[in-house]
């Protein structure tokens, strides 16, 4: 059998991997069509060779919009047990990806437990871990040490890594010439910016990009090219800094594909509704059709405590316009580390946005799911409605908290229920609003 190094390498050689078979089956897509999309870079199947518990998913053109859940330990909230509770709930709620953003304490211990347990694909941002890994300030870490942290994460089995390689000296110069209200809001981007300025050096991930690709190729580690210059406020969106970095990410995408390394490109951020479609078009054009992964976008800046809603509004529009992967946002965004309940609300909001986008894109099976729910409503089949719901727990609880006198109604309309009465009329039965039967 012909050997291959990565999913993209296999696809280019005409090889259909077991991961491609699984994804094609999930997506009701012809596997040869999927193979071609992987070969072209328009679909990525993040599947590290060392992630043995993985149930593979595809991200990209023609596939269901996937969602990612961020979690991880921090200095102020360092409980591995609590984060693992979130992991288990996220997988139960069918999140396709989990990003471990741990930046303090026993990060390696948590990552090992996560990889062993999770059937969802796993992402990390290695630069977050570098300071704790070496126990020294950011400016004291060498370029070689940054790459060693990436290799450690790859060896541990993570499926994709966010690397802010587009924040090179050219991008920094553009940033300095173009004033922003919120400067750089990417955590990884701000750390690298500080390192570059203090050391008067080029971004190590840009300067040593080929060495980074060596690591990715070795483990079939998907490269998620991070947007260090994503807008942190609506007024900063689609500015020269953001677009300058995006152009560089497009160039880095082609270099990765030449090495058969799979790529996902990350995007904004905060932006108003009218700019979302244009941003998706720009990314797809400048990055040659690579899968697009966005945080939000958050369509207004004035709703702290409700940013899962501002994000879902933007995410639905983005997904409908062609975005492939949504990073969830919780009600705790900008405020604190999300707890379990925050995470659940964020997942549901992101899944609603993803599915709304899939309906607009005409993804196979999306309309059928909605039709099945509508049929259950027409039949007043409460149990089937709960089974089909994105989250069955909340609607079931709402129903049980306010039970009607008649089971074929709810406490909103009672026997005036339009569905109940139309069913009776269509069957030739009397509409008995006042008859207490």
**pLDDT tens, residue by residue, 54-86:** 999 999 999 999 999 999 988 888 899 999 999
pTM: 0.95
The average confidence (pLDDT) of the chain is 96
Q: Count of CB atoms within 10 A of residue 201's CB?
A: 13
Annotated binding site for Zn(2+): 270, 334
Number of domains comprising the chain: 2
Distance separating alpha carbons of residues 99 and 286, to the nearest angstrom? 26
**Could you tell me if residue 135 is inside a domain?**
yes
Asked if residues 235 and 181 have their Cβ atoms less than 8 Å apart, the reply is yes
**Could you tell me if residue 369 is inside a domain?**
no
Could you tell me if 132 and 199 lie in one domain? yes
Could you tell me if 407 and 309 lie in one domain? no
Q: Are strands 121-124 and 97-100 parallel, antiparallel or unpaired?
A: parallel
Residues 6+ apart with CB under 8 A from 417: 380, 408, 409, 410
| Coil/strand/helix, residue 150 | helix
Asked if residues 103 and 129 have their Cβ atoms less than 8 Å apart, the reply is yes
Could you tell me if 414 and 273 lie in one domain? no
Residue 437 in this model has a pLDDT that exceeds 70:
no
Q: State how far the alpha carbon of 303 is from the alpha carbons of 87, 128, 264, 334, 336, in Å.
A: 27, 27, 29, 10, 15
Distance separating alpha carbons of residues 321 and 35, to the nearest angstrom? 23
Could you tell me if 108 and 222 lie in one domain? yes
**Could you tell me if residue 255 is inside a domain?**
yes
Could you tell me if 68 and 211 lie in one domain? yes
Residue at a domain's end among 336, 361, 386: 361
Q: Are strands 59-60 and 43-44 parallel, antiparallel or unpaired?
A: antiparallel
Q: Count of CB atoms within 10 A of residue 318's CB?
A: 30
**pLDDT tens, residue by residue, 259-317:** 999 999 999 999 999 999 999 999 999 999 999 999 999 999 999 999 999 999 999 99
What DSSP line would sit under 331-369, residue for residue? TTTTTS---HHHHHHHHHHHHHHHHHHHHHHT-TTHHHH
Q: Count of CB atoms within 10 A of residue 161's CB?
A: 28
- Neighbouring-strand partners of residue 295: 327
Could you tell me if 292 and 422 lie in one domain? no
Residue 244 in this model has a pLDDT that exceeds 80:
yes
Could you tell me if 346 and 416 lie in one domain? no
**Cis peptide bond N-terminal to 297, omega within 30:** yes
Could you tell me if 195 and 338 lie in one domain? yes
**pLDDT tens, residue by residue, 344-359:** 999 999 999 999 999 9
Question: How far out from the chain centre does Cα 150 lie?
Answer: 20
Residues 6+ apart with CB under 8 A from 34: 20, 23, 24, 27, 43, 58
Indicate which CATH number applies to the domain containing 176: 3.20.20.540
**Could you tell me if residue 56 is inside a domain?**
yes
Residue at a domain's end among 310, 335, 361: 361
Q: Count of CB atoms within 10 A of residue 286's CB?
A: 17
Residue 436 in this model has a pLDDT that exceeds 90:
no
- What is the residue whose two structure tokens read 């200095």? 75
Annotated binding site: 70, 99, 128, 164, 186-188, 227-230, 266, 270, 293, 334, 410, 413, 417
Could you tell me if 184 and 68 lie in one domain? yes
Length of the chain: 437
Q: How confident is the model at residue 1 (pLDDT cuts 50, 70, 90)?
A: low
Distance separating alpha carbons of residues 149 and 144, to the nearest angstrom? 9
| Coil/strand/helix, residue 239 | coil
Annotated binding site for substrate: 70, 99, 128, 164, 186-188, 227-230, 266, 293
**Could you tell me if residue 397 is inside a domain?**
no
**Could you tell me if residue 395 is inside a domain?**
no
Q: Are strands 66-71 and 59-60 parallel, antiparallel or unpaired?
A: unpaired
Which of 110-114, 322-326, 375-379, 403-407 is the least confident region?
403-407
- Neighbouring-strand partners of residue 124: 100, 161
**pLDDT tens, residue by residue, 21-54:** 999 999 999 999 999 999 999 999 999 999 999 9
Distance separating alpha carbons of residues 82 and 303, to the nearest angstrom? 27
- Per-residue pLDDT at 146: 97
**Could you tell me if residue 97 is inside a domain?**
yes
Annotated binding site for [4Fe-4S] cluster: 410, 413, 417
**Cis peptide bond N-terminal to 269, omega within 30:** yes
- Per-residue pLDDT at 357: 98
Q: Which domain holds residue 432?
A: 402-437
Could you tell me if 83 and 159 lie in one domain? yes
Residue at a domain's end among 341, 361, 381: 361
Q: Are strands 263-267 and 222-225 parallel, antiparallel or unpaired?
A: parallel
Measured in degrees and rounded to the nearest 5, phi and psi for residue 120 equal -75, 150
Could you tell me if 188 and 315 lie in one domain? yes
Distance separating alpha carbons of residues 403 and 292, to the nearest angstrom? 44
Mean pLDDT across 133-137 = 88
Residue 92 in this model has a pLDDT that exceeds 80:
yes
Q: How confident is the model at residue 144 (pLDDT cuts 50, 70, 90)?
A: very high
**Could you tell me if residue 92 is inside a domain?**
yes
Residues 6+ apart with CB under 8 A from 400: none
Could you tell me if 341 and 424 lie in one domain? no
Distance separating alpha carbons of residues 331 and 339, to the nearest angstrom? 10
pLDDT above 90 coverage of the chain, percent? 92
Residue 375 in this model has a pLDDT that exceeds 80:
yes
């Amino acid at each position: 059998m012909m050997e291959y190094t990565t999913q993209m390498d296999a696809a280019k050689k005409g090889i259909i991997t077991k991961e491609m078979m699984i994804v094609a089956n999930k997506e009701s897509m012809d596997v040869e069509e999927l193979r071609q999309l992987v070969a072209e870079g328009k679909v990525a199947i993040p599947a590290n060779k060392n992630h043995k518990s993985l149930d593979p998913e595809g991200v990209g053109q023609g596939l269901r919009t996937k969602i990612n859940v961020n979690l991880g330990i921090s200095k102020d909230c360092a409980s591995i047990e609590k984060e693992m509770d979130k992991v288990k709930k996220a997988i139960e709620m069918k999140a396709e990806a989990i990003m471990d953003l741990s930046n303090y304490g026993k990060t390696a211990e948590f990552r090992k437990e996560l990889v062993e347990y999770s059937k969802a694909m796993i992402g990390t941002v290695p630069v977050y871990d570098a300071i704790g890994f070496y126990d020294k300030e950011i400016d004291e870490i060498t370029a070689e040490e940054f790459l060693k942290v990436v290799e450690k994460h790859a060896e541990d089995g993570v499926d994709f890594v966010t690397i802010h390689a587009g924040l090179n000296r050219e991008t920094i110069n553009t940033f300095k010439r173009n004033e922003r209200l919120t400067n750089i809001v990417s955590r990884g981007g701000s750390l690298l910016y500080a390192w570059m300025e203090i050391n008067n050096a080029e971004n190590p991930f840009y300067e040593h990009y080929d060495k980074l690709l060596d690591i990715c190729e070795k483990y079939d580690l998907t490269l998620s090219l991070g947007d260090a210059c994503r807008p942190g406020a609506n007024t900063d969106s689609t500015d020269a800094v953001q677009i300058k970095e995006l152009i560089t990410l497009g160039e880095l995408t082609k270099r990765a594909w030449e090495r058969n390394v799979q790529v996902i490109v990350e995007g904004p951020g905060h932006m108003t509704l009218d700019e979302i479609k244009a941003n998706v078009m720009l990314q797809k054009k400048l990055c040659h059709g690579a899968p697009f992964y966005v945080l939000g976008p958050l369509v207004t800046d004035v709703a702290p405590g409700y940013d899962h809603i501002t994000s879902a509004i933007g995410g639905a529009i983005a997904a409908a316009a062609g975005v492939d992967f949504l990073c969830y946002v919780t009600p705790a965004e900008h405020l604190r580390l999300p707890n379990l309940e925050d995470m659940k609300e964020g997942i549901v909001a992101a899944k609603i946005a993803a599915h709304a986008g899939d309906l607009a894109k005409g993804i196979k099976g999306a309309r059928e799911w909605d039709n099945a729910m509508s049929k259950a409503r027409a039949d007043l089949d409460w149990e089937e409605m709960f089974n089909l719901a994105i989250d069955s727990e909340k609607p079931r609880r709402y129903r049980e908290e306010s039970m009607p006198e008649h089971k074929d109604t709810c406490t909103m309309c009672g026997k005036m229920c339009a569905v109940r009465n139309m069913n009776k009329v269509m069957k030739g039965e009397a509409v008995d609003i006042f008859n207490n039967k």
